[in-house]
Structure 1
Amino acid sequence: MKAQIGLEPKKAESISEVLSSLLADEFVLYAKTRNAHWNVQGPDFHTVHLYFETLYHELETYIDDVAERIRQIGHYAPATLQEYLELTHLTEQRIEKNDSLSFIKDLLSDHEAIIIFLRENIDKIEEEYDFGTSDFLTTLMEKHEKTAWMLRSHLK
């Protein structure tokens, strides 16, 4: 049964494409954060290991929320690694060093890329009169902004 929520099918399709790219970005960032958690080493290992664990738990929630938003507007969420790699704006390249600052710089770059993507698309979604998704994305952007600020603070 199709969602009868006041969104024209073409608008819902367009919005689901934005959300699908976002889902892919969130999933790639999640995998990179898990990598940082598993492979970080150095004198600050324990503290940063726990911090990365906090971050990937947050990302698990974001991933689920984005996928559910796609379903709420009547579309199916992409759910394969192949789809994520085709849809993501991020790169999954592996950094050469396993120190905390290298991981933090890489994760910060990805959070900032997601913030920019969200900022670029919030107005477009509002133009489609999907204020629920717009509000959802604004809240998500604020969460990424807070994480970016915290990561950035490690680099000072």
Structure 2
Amino acid sequence: MEKYLSYIKKDDLEAIQLKLQELLASLHIFYSNLRGIHWNIKDTNFFVIHEKTQNLYEYIEKIIDVVAERSRMLGYDSEFRYSEFMKKSFIKELDIESTSNFLPSMQNIVCSIDEILKNIFGMRKLLDTAGDYGTANIMDDIMSDLEKHLWMHKAILENCNCFCHDEHESKYCECDTK
């Protein structure tokens, strides 16, 4: 019995698996960051942020499972160790201070969703070339959902009263969060 789907070349499957595991690692780090923001946020908008981050991390938890199970369908094991996630993730782990402040927290959420979307978009050419329409459909659904989350979180920052809006024509806050 073959370990992979017979209609997709093994080399293509291996490349897809690498991208899926990078995405899986990044989703896990993003999930952890969202939990940190959810628990630690201190702001006048606490209740809204607390609820929105919970909605988002619950969604991310679901897509983590979808991505991990897709790897299994392709014939590969799915990573589960945070030590490996830290090595493979394109999303960086937040420090405690940036999870309790509104601007760094919201900016991180926006930037993280944007990076995840860019990664998935970049994966699409590989999926189309390989003829992996099952993974492509899954990624399309995730992209559509994350685009809505990105829009909503950018909207939260549109009325930010920080100084950077006077200096930049950005759609969302670009304050230095470091």
Cα-to-partner distance string for 1:27-64 (whole Å, 9 max, x where unaligned): 11000000000000111112211111111100100100
Q: Highest Rg: 1 or 2? A: 2
Cα-to-partner distance string for 1:2-43 (whole Å, 9 max, x where unaligned): 244422222211111110001011111000000000000111
Structure 1 gaps of 5+ residues are none
Matched, 1:75 2:97: no
Match runs of 1:32-111 below 5 Å: 32-94=33-95, 96-97=97-98, 98-111=100-113
Question: How far apart are the structure 2 equivalents of 1:93 and 1:39?
Answer: 12
- Provide the residue aligned with 2:132 in structure 1: 130
Q: Normalising by structure 1, report the TM-score.
A: 0.94
Structure 2 gaps of 5+ residues are 159-178
Question: How far apart are the structure 1 equivalents of 2:5 and 2:53?
Answer: 40
CA-based RMSD: 1.4
Range with greater deviation from structure 2 (19-28 or 100-109): 100-109
**Aligned AA (2:16):** I
Residue 77 of structure 1 aligns to a residue whose secondary structure is coil
Identity across matched positions, percent: 26
Match of 1:112 among 111, 114, 119: 114
- Provide the residue aligned with 1:29 in structure 2: 30
Residue 97 of structure 2 aligns to a residue whose secondary structure is coil
Residue 96 of structure 1 aligns to a residue whose secondary structure is helix
Range with greater deviation from structure 2 (100-109 or 79-88): 100-109
**Aligned AA (1:121):** M
